Amino acid sequence: MGEDMGSAPEHVHTEGDLGHQHATEVTQSNERRIRLVFLLTAGYALVQAIGGWIAGSLALIADAGHMISDSAALLLALVAYRVARWPIDAQRTYGFHRVRVLAALANGATLLLLVAWIAWEAVQRINQPAEILAGPMLIVATIGLLVNLIGAYALWSGDSGDSNLRGALLHVVGDLLGSIGAITAAVGIMLTGWAILDPLLSVLVAGLVIRSAWGLVSDSIRVLLQATPKGIDATEIEASLRDLPGIAEVGHFHAWTLTDESIIATVHVSADQGADPLSLPPLVASWLQETRGIDHVTVQVDPRGSLLTRHT
């Protein structure tokens, strides 16, 4: 085959992306489980916030903020299931997956503001401890423990292969630990009268909130800026692709995240003397999918020598 055939761009999609289907598989049972846990978590977060206000417990209010963050994460998981059903159209060829990213960014930014308020209030209470109604605090925290145990069991008994379900379970386990901490603080206050235990616990819970909130914000910004996904080194990949048989040059490798489970990449290659240019796209796409988990690859074949004078 003549070298001039390399001047025409050739494209290929990996087998898992045939027909431009970017939606993730939707499991009805798992969606119902997450919906149930979302309703339990969001409902109890409201109860906990009111209970914390009545009991004067900043720790309960902080833990309510933690549960709100996890409720938002559960809601985003439900959004992911729904988005997977929305049809792709001519204006949104990748669908509506970025709706989830925008929601996560808004959620994370709001939670960071909540953490700032909790930290400020905790400092004030450490300097001047407020009266805490340990009895109501213990009752509310115990209810929270029961709610989280129910939620954890509902998610644990679902499909362990579902990444949405696994992520939701981790959030609920974090809530469960927060409830145990609140119970411990309430019992401690009842036995010792040390009201300072409440703001100290609130600071610990705020640390959990700020970790998840900052993760939401930073990950969302990375996706929206189309940054190279974590674990993907463009320079290393280009060097590895050059070692594949039939490839003379590699350049212009770009990769970005579409959804949590889907990475998209484009790359330019040129063929060695005597190699079939049409054989390169499936070769490159298969290698990227098998070694890097990139499931949507577009490969352009350029004339040999052109990539030596161009830069990514």
Residue type at 87 in one-letter notation:
P
Quick: pLDDT tens for 220-233.
888 888 888 888 89
Please return the burial class of 300, using the count of CB atoms within 10 Å of its CB with bins 0-12, 13-18 and 19+.
Answer: middle
Q: Is the CB of residue 258 less than 8 Å from the CB of residue 22?
A: yes
pTM above 0.75, yes or no: no
Does 26 score more than 80 pLDDT?
A: no
Does 94 score more than 70 pLDDT?
A: no
At residue 18, the pLDDT reads 38
Q: Of 182, 211, 197, 143, whose CA–CA distance to 63 is shortest? A: 182
Q: Indicate the DSSP class of residue 233.
A: -
Cα separations in angstroms, 171 against 41, 90, 178, 191, 306 = 10, 36, 11, 31, 50
Quick: pLDDT tens for 244-291.
999 999 999 999 987 666 788 999 999 998 889 999 999 999 999 999
Cα separations in angstroms, 121 against 125, 190, 198 = 6, 22, 11
Q: Which residues contact 234 (CB under 8 A, 6 or more apart)?
A: 228, 253, 254, 255, 312
Q: Indicate the DSSP class of residue 231.
A: T
Q: How confident is the model at residue 13 (pLDDT cuts 50, 70, 90)?
A: very low
Q: How confident is the model at residue 95 (pLDDT cuts 50, 70, 90)?
A: low
Q: Indicate the DSSP class of residue 161.
A: T
Q: Element (H or E) spanning 268, and its range?
A: strand 262-271
Q: How confident is the model at residue 156 (pLDDT cuts 50, 70, 90)?
A: confident
